Amino acid sequence: MMELPTYPFLRPDELDRARPAPHPVVVVGGGLSGLTMALDLVRRGQRVTLLDDDNTVGVRGLASRGMVWAQRTLDIFDRLDVADAIVAKGVRWNVGRVLCRDAAVASFTLQAQPDMRHNGFVNLQQYYLEAFLVEALQREPLAELRWLNRVDAIETPADGGPVTLRVHTPEGDYRTRAEWVIACDGANSPLRQALGLRPEVYDRNEDRWIIIDVVLRGTSWPEERWTWLDAGSNHGRAVWRHKMADDTWRLDFQLRPDEDAQAACTPQAMRQRVWDLLGEQVDFDIAWHGVWAYRHECLSGLRHGRVLFAGDSAHLVAPFGARGGNGGIQDADNLGWKLALVLQGRASDALLDSYSAERKHAALENIRQARRSSRFVHPGPAESARMWRDAIIALAPRHDVPARMINTGRLCMPAVYPPSPLAHPASPHAGRALPNVVLDRRAQRSLHQLLGPWFTALVFSEHVPPVPEPTDDGALLRRVAVGAHCDAEGREALRRQLGVEMDGEVWLIRPDQHVMAAIDAAASGQADAALPDWIAAALYPCAYRASPDAHSPSNAGTHAHAHVAATA
């Protein structure tokens, strides 16, 4: 089992002398969202200072916390070069079983996904992911990691200038300034409180659970996910069992409303709870335990001047379907490229408003989905809700449709962003994450590997046709002929997953691997020349003029296009 690393405190320069210029970016919080955010930015050539009040990864010891990492998250980590380590250390299962009142109700088998770069998801304790991210950041000269640096206060000037932070360290306090601050400081965000921001509460549930992470000794269980609804061994409450790395299993037990949480956490009470479920022949060690209760919250806006919120500081969602950690990683994926272009002077800071709009939209969808799962697992006092759930469970062993209606936490899916200049409303695929289809298995080539660091026009043909009008779009736009990188199996996979042929169709892909527009072959010749205008309209929203044909190249701002050309 892993021993949590400790990182050294290094005396910040500001303790000895005032810093003449503000930091370009300060990330507050060295958890999953903060570390991903920092790594994304430095990989885009931006200098980042990360402040964390601790000197290790994880929280409260070897807590599993987030532990199911979705396919979309693995695609993001592929781009950041940490996915291989996660997949190698993690665990996958493909069989899930649901029991109710100790009787088998349904089972399902996850099908292999040979078309995709990552075959589904991986289970791995969150502290491993954080450690991999720290290791990657330690190799980056543009990243400065400041451990044991606790932010105690924040000042945001009325003139919109740089933000000032007051920071406490073991060797004294200092003040420092930042052009941009990204708050990744958790569910009880001190920065959020200091700015007087209160999230909108969508659900505050008194339902409580105890996590008991156990390491088996001399026993092996099938690598399957088991869910018990109304388990007799747990006083008619729910239980989950998941396999993680190091032969560690996470057990989540739903507590009774009148149960004393402190008493439930005694070693004997926890061991008895596990034995009641699995039998006293099971020999195990307890790696970690903790009690949690969930609530659903989201800030009204994720941008407040020069302070941007990400991860749990921006939104909270119950862990049904693994939407918390995966959502925070997608926050970083959405914000990183936008902030990098702003810092380079290649986009207006109004582009950051789209981060707030898109990721709040995603957070509210996650909350909706998690609430559906929570209501199925524990319908509450409403008699009609329980009757409906019990009817589904009664029919599930004999009928496929009610079996598919069982909802004990369906794994989160990639966000689909709403129509905007970044997701053109006339395009059927706009706003969706681009599936990372395998193009050539022998060459180990997948679709995301064809994408550039900024925008990419994927031309589904053997070659890129000449652009009718010359453009000077510099490194902001790259055109790639997909057909030149495919074998026969890859072409079939593209037909199955994207519905495309090698007929000249063009898909404009954003830097976060979401589709900005998909242009059919008949219109691709005219639209291809105007792609820089589309990009410019997105980067400079003030130059964008919405209209019924706002997705059309003729409506993009000419001033913005000139700026794109000038930055080449």
**CA distances to 238, 373, 374, 375 from 208, in Å:** 11, 15, 12, 14
State how far the Cα of 241 lies from the Cα of 566, in Å rounded to an integer: 57
Residue 379 resides in a domain: no
Q: Tens digit of pLDDT for each residue in 462-483? A: 988 776 544 445 579 999 999 9
Give the CB-side neighbour count of residue 85, counting CA atoms within 13 A: 17
Q: Residue 27: give its domain's CATH number.
A: 3.50.50.60
- Is 108 a member of any domain? no
* 39 secondary structure, DSSP code: H
Q: Give me the pLDDT at residue 560, please.
A: 36
Domain-located, residue 534: yes
Residues 473 and 349 in one domain: no
| 390 inside domain | no
**165 and 40 assigned to the same domain:** yes
Shared domain check, 333 and 186: yes
Strand order in the sheet with 477-481: 477-481, 455-460, 505-509, 515-519
49 burial class (0-12, 13-18, 19+ CB within 10 angstroms)?
Answer: buried
Same domain flag for 162 and 308:
yes
State the sign of the Cα–Cα–Cα–Cα dihedral 329, 334, 335, 339: positive
Does 206 map to a domain? no
The candidate with the shortest Cα–Cα distance to 534, out of 515, 554, 514, 518, is 554
User: Are 242 and 249 within 8 A, CB to CB?
Assistant: yes
Q: Compute the distance between CA of residue 10 and CA of residue 518 in angstroms, rounded to an integer.
A: 49
Same domain, 362 and 505: no
Q: Is 311 helix (H, G, I), strand (E, B) or coil?
A: helix
Q: Where are the beta strands (DSSP E) in 461-537?
A: 477-481, 505-509, 515-519
The string of DSSP codes covering 247-310 is: TEEEEEEEPPTT--HHHHTSHHHHHHHHHHHH-TT--EEEEEEEEEEEEEEE-S-SEETTEEE-
Res 470: pLDDT: 43
User: What Å distances lie between residue 483 and 102, 430, 447, 452, 488, CA to CA?
Assistant: 53, 22, 11, 17, 10
* Contact indicator for 125, 245 with CB cutoff of 8 Å: yes
Q: What is the pLDDT of residue 64?
A: 84
> Domain end: 316, 341, 370, which one?
370
Same domain, 306 and 454: no
Question: Which stretches in the chain have pLDDT values below 50?
Answer: 469-472, 543-568
Q: Give 66-123 as a DSSP string.
A: S-EE-HHHHHHHHHTT-HHHHHHH-B---EEEEEETTEEEEEEEPPP-TTBSS-S-EE
Give pLDDT, residue 324.
92
C-alpha 414/C-alpha 64 separation (Å) is 23
In a domain, 265, yes or no: no
- Shared domain check, 140 and 38: yes
What local confidence, expressed as pLDDT, does residue 321 receive?
Answer: 87
Let me know whether 480 and 562 are in one domain.
Answer: yes
User: Burial code of 63-75, b = ≥16 C-beta within 10 A, e = fewer?
Assistant: bbbbbbbbbbbbb
Q: Is residue 179 part of a domain?
A: yes
**Could you tell me if residue 388 is inside a domain?**
no
Q: Do 316 and 458 lie in a common domain?
A: no
How many Å from the N-terminal Cα to the C-terminal Cα in the chain? 50
Number of domains the chain is built from: 2
Amino acid at 12: P
- The pTM for the full model equals 0.92
Domain boundary among 370, 391, 421: 370
The domain in which residue 132 lies consists of: 23-91+120-201+296-370
Phi and psi torsions of 454, nearest 5° = -120, -110
Token output for 522: 């008949």
**Residue that finishes a domain, picked among 344, 370, 396:** 370
Do 364 and 508 reside in the same domain of the chain? no
Task: Summarize pLDDT for 204-228 with one digit per residue, the tens.
Answer: 776 899 999 999 988 888 889 999 9
Is 39:184 a contact under the CB 8 Å cutoff? Answer: no
